[in-house]
Each structure stands twice: as structure tokens, then as C-alpha cells.
Structure 1
Amino acid sequence: MKCPMCGYDTSLNYCPNCGTYPLEQEIIKCPKCGHENSKGLFYCSRCGISLMTYTVNDNSNLGKEKGTKDYSQKIERDEIHKKRIRSIMSILLGAMLLLAISYYIGLFNNPNTPLEHQLPQSYNAIITTKITNIDAEVGEAQLWIALPVNCGTQQNVSVISIDPEPDQIILAPKTCTKICYWDFNNSLPTNSTLTIVQNISFTANPFTTPIDSSKIEAYDYSSSLYKEYTKPSQRVEADDPGIIAISKAVVGNETNPYKKADLIYGWVVKNITYEIQEQELGARYAFYNRKGDCTEFATLFVAMCRSQGIPARLVHGYLYDSDTSAGHMWAEFYLPPYGWVPADPTGDHTTKSRFFFGRLGSNVLILSKGNVGLSTNYSEDNPFAFSYIAYYKSYNSGKLIFDNNAEIKKINS
């Protein structure tokens, strides 16, 4: 049939040339399958496609010129609408692609990434320790600094250099560290600074071992490990009456050590507020003041575990992320047959704990674990560094300022 407006020959019920609709014809041929449909059908009775490109309101009372103009305007509007939809879809698809890329990039770099997705990561660390004398000349200064070793999730440790070289390096195998020792005689005049630089490389692996609480075995109460890490120690006041009382209340009737440690962890995270301290204050301070930094969170968790018969120890090192290489302290508790299990309760009101209960990311440098013995001549009443990064003592000194930091960078594989 020819369109009465433009003369275009078509078998459809509208003119694809000028848009006039409807065209009065008895048979409407489907443009897809060729099926001949009766007049008045809007869809092909065989294949179901629309027999008209656009849904148009009844314009039987309008003149053909008016109908043509309306139809042309509708085509223009619909084309604009289609372009907008295509643009929106392109933007959405692009955004989804960027989110996917960002997710997979961040997955392996974010320390809070689910640990089953984290991979081992190699690093180079420059650890700098400075002691500045701001008062009278020091007659003698002794310095002990922890040196990382292969231990558990930390492997491939390589000491590139230590400057100046230590007088002694003593292995402390049960504490996952070596102790570097210097004895400086008359080397700290007033307003002078003593600097020690350690250059090391290492590989950190995530701790992802699943713990089945039903398979935990009984402790060997006579073992040196159990005795050592269930007793009070410096700043881990497991014998404090208040800490004992709250620990009993928190664990209640629970007897499974894994579940007891989980309850203690939850209480510390919920009840202690993160606040940076100028010095290490320990478990008792954290409990009675309800605040502290990583040292107080970790020492309180360890003290509460010990008070309930769960061996626990402190871990000292550095936490690495894209913005900082911060000194950090967390904890481990012992579960036979699994061994030492990590737990870091540190957090504040804006972030969750940096690590998780029973999990450890591949973004830490471990310097020492547990009670690190220094030497018999350090102090008769204080023979342990309890996971400190470094210790020093001096004679004839008014005041020394101690500073320790690390610059940690990833080694691309």
C-alpha cells in the first residue's frame, strides 16, 4: 500500500518514510517473518514482534498533516531518550568496571582484606633507632635492639646490614628474635645523638588456619610454656584482683579455651577506648582507666587470658599499610594442637581492630614474641624486655630521648 502522504510503498500499517500512522490496509505483512496478519493487530500472530515501531495514541480524529508532525516529534523525542539511556548505561558499566578493578587491586593491598584472599608479601625494612642525650654527658650506654628472624608466618628474613655493627648478636629462639647488643663508652656527650640503622628484607604470610574449637586438646600444665605464659609479668598484671574478677565474669561457665579467649577479646574491643599514650602503661592501667593504645589493648587481653589459664604472650613489631609503617603490639594465645594463634584487639571508635581474632594479615614485621631475656647484668629486678623493640640503660645521665621508627616498602615480585 502506498502512503497517502508521501507515496512510499509499504506493507506495514505505518509509513517508515514519513511516519504517517495508521495506514488503512486489510493485510499487514510482518517485516521479520513475512506472516500476513489481519487488520487491527499490533503484534505478529506468528513471531510476536511489534507491527508498529512506536505506540501512538489514537489520532483518528487528527488530520494527516497533524499526525505526521506529531509522529516526527515523537521519533525525535524517542531518539533523544534512547541516547540518554545509552549514555547512562555506558556510565554505569564504566563505573562497575572501575569498581571491579579497584576491588581486586585493593583486595591484595588492604590489611583488612579477608585473609583467604591475601597473598604472601615481601618487604624491605629500614629500622632506625636514635638515642639523644639532652643533659649531662653519659659515661656509659648499653643498648639492646630486637632483630627479626624466620618465625612462623615470617620467612625469608635477610639481614642486609647493621650500622654500626653490634658487639654481640644473641639468638633467643623461643621468642622469635635475635638480640643485638652495643656497649658504648663515653660516646654520648651532651646534645649528641646515637643512631643505629638495621636494613633487612623479609616475607610476611597471612595466618589463615581455621580453628575447630571441638578439636582443642588439654594443656600440659607441667610444661615450661604453660607455666611461663600463664603467670604475671611486667605490665601484664594477670594477678590483679580487678582483672581476675572481670575475666571470670566475662567467660562465665565457658570451659573451652578458644571460646574463652574469644569472649575476652570481645570485651576488650568493646570496653577499652583507643588513646595514644606517651609511655607503655600496661594491663592494669588499661583496665582501671578503660583506655590506652596498642600496648594497653594487647597487655590487657594477655593478662585476662592468663588469669583464666590460657597461655598468652605479646608480639611486638610494625604494622605496614600504604600510608604508614607504625610500631605495633598485638597478642598470641596458645591452643593445642594448633599452637600460637594471633589476636589483635586494638581499635578505636572509627575503625575496627587492625587485625582480627585468630587471624593475621601479610602486612606485619615481627620483631619479638613473649618474654625476651636481655642479659644478667641488665637489671636484677627487671630481666625481660617483654617484646619491646629496644631497651637501653645508661650511667651518669640526666635525660635521654629515645626514638625508633621503620620505613617499610614492598618488594615487587
Structure 2
Amino acid sequence: MEQRYQLVYKKTKTYRVDYTYDNRQRSQVDLWLALPAPSMTQRSIRILSQTTPRETALLPTGNPLAYYEVGTGQRVVLSFSFDAYETRLVPAKTAEDQTDGETAGAAVLTDEERQFYLRSTPLVPVNEDIRDEALRIVGDAREPIEQARRLFDHIVAHYRYHWPPTERGALAMRCHKKGDCGEFSFLFAAYCRALGIPCRTVIGAWAAGKFQAHAWNEFFVDGVGWIPVDASVAAAMKNPLKQLAFVTRYGTRSSGRRYFGSLEGKRVIFSFDSSLPLIPAYPDDTQPPVPAGYQSFMVGGEMLAWGYRSQQGTAPYLQPAYVRFAGKPEPASVADYMGTWQVSETAFGAAASLWIKRMSFALFFLCLFSYHGLSLFHMRLEWLNTLSTAFFTLLLLTLILRREAYWVTYLFAVLMALSLFASLQLF
């Protein structure tokens, strides 16, 4: 059957990722660390430095999995660079005329891959309730891309972005009608799989400095490939302030609807999918009882002592790591459970413009709020208003240079200009 759509890829930037895990506990920590796997949006992966693992295995997703036994005070490091690619889903005839991007060849999954990305997991359950609801949502749509589009539109319209979530998983998302990027991705994957559409959660981060964890989806269509979807960003962008924050902070596209079949190429992928097997096996049978006061989380409908138990021999997800503590962790910050990472742009000009963007954004709002806050007390410091306009002008120029400006930023520019003219009594 002739395909109606095709994916087009275009290189955006080269990024460097520096990951670190420091064992601050009083005993050994076992660490399972997902190593980067190539994909159409993350290519030419170059390992720059890596602590030698005790053991390495290959996950069903194609990710190498490194295992470490980290002694007290020891550090595990992983640094790599990669070329990032933006993605666009376009009509097949349009793809033939593309001159600023490349198209992918015919894509197929093996039977084992298809089965893996259709399976039911605690975070992504596939059951009759999910299937019935998915069928109701897609209505008379029969083509997989159109079915996925209707699922995307439904989730964006009826669910709200909220962080942090109280529970993890698609069932919790259905119950509470709100969640973070993980819950959006788990629910979308569950709906797709219930309709026989292979789908996976992509676990990664924004390529925007330290940490900035994120998750999204890809669903597979024969002959087209892995089509990206980010329902959480689309839902968050219904709020104009969040839209401005996403565009300014992460360099996202300005329209939420463009996050079906399209990604901006400003992210790093750590691993694919949920409920990944831990190799070597997690020693649940020999692990002592959960210590008193150990914080547990509701994950996929069951309480999980994260970092002290596995979930049926698997890690719920690898972002990019899962750990085993010998006792109650002290300290117990996010860095002790996941490690830390920094993503930076390798080109000097790109890195400099990113720094200028963040600096001017922060100083703009600082001056703006200070000016209006002091005005409430009849202290009109016009130089603050002038400074806020100057910093916004710098921000706008940087956004234009980075191709991240959109209508809200231009509207702000007009309002700032009017405010400046008024303060200078030019009217």
C-alpha cells in the first residue's frame, strides 16, 4: 500500500552530555546505567569518557546497559556527544520536494520488536478498559496515523500538565486527569498499544543545561518509521505563560499541535520504553526488608521502594540509571537516585547565544517586576523600565538568531516599546 506520509530529518546541533554518579552513602551502591543508543534523531554518538563497568549487556531496545558496583566516595562518569536531528511528518509527495532535509528509507520492525512495543507493563497496561476507551476516542479512524492523531488530540484536550505527580503510570493518569511528561507518555503508549500500534516511551532530557529530565513518545508505522509525539508539551502550551517559558527555556516550537509528528531536535535520549530488565538481575530475593521510614512511591498501581526493590525484576525506566541501596539512603536527593547530567552545545556561537538568552531573560523579568513592584509604592524608577526594555531587546535578538522567536515575543516587544516611549514622554 502506498504511504501517505513520510518523515523528514534535518540536523540541528551537536551536543555534549556529561553524566556523573557520586556515591555519598556509607555503603556500596549498585548502579545500572543505560548507555546511549543511536536513532534517527540522535546520531554519530561518540563516547568521550566512561568509567569502566563491571558488566555490560544489551537491552531489547538496543541500549547497552552498564553495571557498576560503586564504593563509598567513588564516582561513575559518562561523557558523550551526538548529532541531534529535528523531525517533521509530511505528506509523501511533499517529502519528495524537500531540499532542506533528508528522508528515511522504508522502515519495518522485526516480530520480536513489534511484540516488545505492544506488550503490557505496570506503567503501560494494555487491558479491555484501555482498549474500549481507545476505540471510542478514535471513532471511525482506521489508518494508524489518524488513530494516533485522535488519541493525541484527546489527551491534550482532556488532561492537564502537573508536576510532581502523586503516582506513576497510565492508570493514575486516567484517574487523576493530570500528570507530568511521564504520565502523558505512558497513557499515550497504552492507548496506541491497545489498538495494535507499536509505541514506546522515550526517556531523556531537554538539551538545556543541568538535569531538565523529560519523556515523550514514538509510535511506529510500517514504511514510515518511528513518529514522534509529545502530548505533555502540547498540553502545557495551552497556558500562554507556560508556552513562553517552554519556548524561551528549551527552544521548543511555538505551537502545541506541531508536537504530533514533529520535534525540534533539542533533546537527548537516554533510553527507550518502560519496565526494562536489569542485567545482572536485581537481588530482590536476598535484599533485606525495606527499612523503616524508607520512602516508597506508587508506580504502576503498586508501592515501590525505589532504589531498594525492582519492579518484577525490571527498572520502571532508566533516566538514565537505576540503583540499589544497601539500606535507607542518607542523603536521599534526586542525584542519589538518578545521578546528575549536564547537556551543552558544542559550537561556541550556539553555546554563547544560549547563555545570553538565559541571562537576558532573567534580567528582563527582574527589572520588569522590580519596576512595577516599586511603582506600587509610588517609586517610579524609569531607569529600571529602560533596562528591562534593553534586556528584552537583547533577548528578542537572541531568539531570532536561534530561530526560537514567535508571536508572543514580538507582542512583548511592541508592549515594551510602548512602555518605554511612555516613560520618556514621547507621546
TM-score (norm 1): 0.60
TM alignment of 1:226-237, pairs within 5 A: 226-237=114-125
Letter of the structure 2 residue corresponding to residue 395 of structure 1? A
Matches for 1:205-216 after TM superposition, within 5 Å: 205-210=85-90
What amino acid is the match of 2:69?
D
Measured after TM superposition, the shift of residue 240 of structure 1 is: 6.3
Q: 1:312 aligns with which of 181, 184, 199?
A: 199
TM-fit CA distance, 1:200: 1.3
What is the DSSP-based 3-state SS (H/G/I as helix, E as strand, rest coil) of the residue aligned with 1:226?
helix
After superposing on structure 2, the runs of 4+ consecutive aligned residues of structure 1 that deviate more than 6 Å are: 115-118, 219-222
Q: Contact 2:23 / 2:29 at 8 angstroms: preserved in 1?
A: no
* Closer, same or farther: CA 280–405 of 1 in aligned 2, 3 Å: farther
- Whether the 8 Å CA contact 1:313–1:332 is kept in 2: the answer is yes
Provide Cα deviations, 1:349-369, integer angstroms capped at 9, x if missing partner: 333549711112221111111
Match of 1:18 in 2: none
Aligned residues of 2:37 and 2:63 also touching (Cα < 8 A) = yes
Structure-2 change in CA distance of 1:131 and 1:254 (3 Å)? farther
**What residue identity is the alignment partner of 1:230?**
L
- SS for the counterpart of 2:347 is coil
Equivalent residue, structure 2, for 1:171: 58
Partner of 1:338: 224
Alignment partners' CA distance in 2, 1:279 and 1:132: 27
Query: Is the CA contact 2:84–2:266 (under 8 Å) kept in the aligned structure 1?
Result: yes
- Corresponding residue for 1:204? 84
Q: Which residue of 2 aligns with 1:374?
A: 278
Aligned partner of 1:383 in structure 2 is: 313
TM-superposed deviation, 1:305? 0.8
Shift of residue 132 of structure 1?
A: 4.2
1:292 to 171, 179, 200: 179
Distance 1:262 1:294 in 2: 18
Mapping 1:148-163, distance limit 5 Å:
148-162=36-50
Distance 1:171 1:231, change over 3 A: closer
Deviations 1:257-297 (A, max 9, x none): 11000100111111111111267601111111011111001
1:117–1:237: structure 2 CA closer, same or farther, 3 Å change rule? closer
Q: Matched residue of 1:246: which SS?
A: helix
> What SS is found at the alignment partner of 1:346?
helix
Please report how far the alpha carbon of residue 397 of structure 1 lies from its aligned counterpart in structure 2 after TM superposition.
3.7
Structure 2: unaligned runs, 5 residues or longer: 1-6, 94-106, 244-254, 285-310, 349-427
Which residue does the alignment assign to 1:183? 69
Match status 1:357 vs 2:245: no
Q: What are the ranges of 5 or more consecutive residues in structure 1 without an aligned counterpart?
A: 1-114, 214-218
Q: Quote the offset at 1:177 in angstroms.
A: 2.0
Of 101, 111, 114, the match for 1:223: 111
CA RMSD, aligned part only?
A: 3.1
> 1 CA distance for matches of 2:8 and 2:119?
34
2:14 alignment partner in structure 1: 122
Q: Does 1:395 align with 2:326?
A: yes
In 2, Cα distance between equivalents of 1:293 and 1:130: 27
For residues 25-77 of structure 1, the C-alpha deviation after alignment (integer angstroms, 9 at most, x for no partner) is xxxxxxxxxxxxxxxxxxxxxxxxxxxxxxxxxxxxxxxxxxxxxxxxxxxxx
Q: Which has the larger radius of gyration?
A: 1
Q: Structure 2 length normalisation: TM-score?
A: 0.58
What CA deviation, in whole Å up to 9, does each residue of 1:220-258 have, x standing for no partner?
9992223222221131122262x3332121111211111
The one-letter code sitting in structure 2 at the alignment partner of 1:223 is D
Q: Percent identity?
A: 24
Equivalent-residue separation in structure 1 for 2:318 and 2:258 (angstroms)? 20
CA drift of 1:123 comes to: 1.1
Distance 1:166 1:275 in 2: 37
Number of residue equivalences: 280
State the alpha-carbon separation in 2 of the partners of residues 145 and 312 from structure 1.
Answer: 23
